[in-house]
């Protein structure tokens, strides 16, 4: 029987503490063998060096969008992905990475030179502010079970689509 093609995964991190990346690697403790067979990690900076930016069946986006470069990269990922899932509070809500959005005028004045120096956006954005999202996994960090349920549902969806072709 012909082997089924692996599902192409991208795991991308923007402005955040990477707690969801850690949770993902912990979920992997119990599921790495099936994931090895099921997924082709095309782009996952935390897992590998030779990352490929071509096309993704599922792109997981962690973190808030804090710079024009983040915006550009997220837009490119969206264009290359069949499904785009926002994971964790910073991606879904823009917080806490975007806590400067609610600073007082005095606080803003004290940080403005830093925002200018590194070309940060005036306001930090959540993922859905920039591109359409196909799903959200909230939490700070995300709940491992909710993440796994979502992953399994997506796998079933892609496998179903493959079977129908």
Partner 1 sequence: MHTIDIDMKELTKVEGSAGLSVRVRDDKVTEVHFEITEYKRFFTEALKGKSIGAVPAHLARICGTCSNAHIMAAIEACERALGIEPSEQTKLLRVLTMHGLIIRDHALHLYLFSLPDLYGKDAFLDFDENDPVQHELLHDGFDVKGAGNFLATLVAGRSVHATYPTIGGFLHFPDAAGIQTALQKLRAVRPAALRLIETFRNAPFHLESQMNYMALVPDGSYGYIGGKIMTSRGESYGEGAFRDHLERVVLPYSQASAYSYRGERYLVGALARMNLAKGKLHPATTAALGDTLNLFPSIDIFHNNLAQAVEILHSIDEAIDILERTPFAPEPLVKAPAREGVGVGVVEAPRGTLYHKVVVGADGLVCEGEVVVPTGQNQMNIECDVGRLVEAELAKDTPQEKIELEIEKLIRAYDPCMSCAAHFLKVDWKKE
CB of 158 to partner 1, least distance (A): 19
Q: Does residue 145 belong to the site contacting partner 1 (CB under 8 A)? A: no
**Residue 148 within binding range of partner 1, rule CB under 8 A:** no
HSE (side-chain half, CA atoms, 13 Å) at 72: 5
Phi, psi of 64 (to 5 degrees): -95, 170
C-alpha 64/C-alpha 110 separation (Å) is 22
To partner 1, the closest distance from the beta carbon of 74 in angstroms equals 14
Contact between residue 150 and residue 160 where contact means Cβ atoms under 8 Å apart: no
The residues with which 81 forms a beta bridge, in sequence order, are 56
Interacting stretch for partner 1, rule CB under 8 A, among 1-9, 49-57, 126-134, 146-154?
A: 49-57
Give the pairing type, strands 56-62 and 39-44: unpaired
Per CB under 8 A, the list member of 4, 30, 79, 129 interacting with partner 1 is 30
Task: Tell me which residues touch partner 1 (CB under 8 A).
Answer: 13, 15-23, 25-26, 28-30, 32, 35-36, 41, 45-51, 66-67, 70, 96-97, 99-100, 103, 107, 110-111, 113-114, 117-118, 120, 140-141
């Amino acid at each position: 029987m012909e082997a089924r093609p692996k599902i192409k995964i991208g795991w991308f991190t923007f402005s955040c503490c990477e707690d969801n990346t850690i949770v993902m690697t912990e979920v992997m403790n119990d599921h790495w063998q099936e994931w090895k067979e099921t997924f082709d990690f095309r782009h996952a900076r935390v897992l590998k060096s030779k990352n490929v930016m071509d096309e993704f069946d599922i792109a997981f986006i962690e973190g808030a969008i804090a710079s024009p470069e983040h915006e550009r990269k997220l837009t490119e990922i969206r264009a290359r992905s069949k499904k785009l899932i926002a994971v964790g509070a910073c991606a879904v809500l823009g917080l806490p990475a975007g806590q400067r959005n609610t600073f007082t005028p005095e606080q803003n004045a004290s940080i403005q030179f830093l925002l200018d120096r590194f070309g940060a956006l005036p306001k930090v954005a959540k993922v859905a502010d920039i591109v359409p999202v196909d799903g959200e996994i909230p939490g700070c960090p995300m709940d491992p079970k909710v993440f796994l349920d979502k992953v399994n549902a997506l796998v079933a969806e892609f496998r179903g689509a493959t079977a129908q072709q």
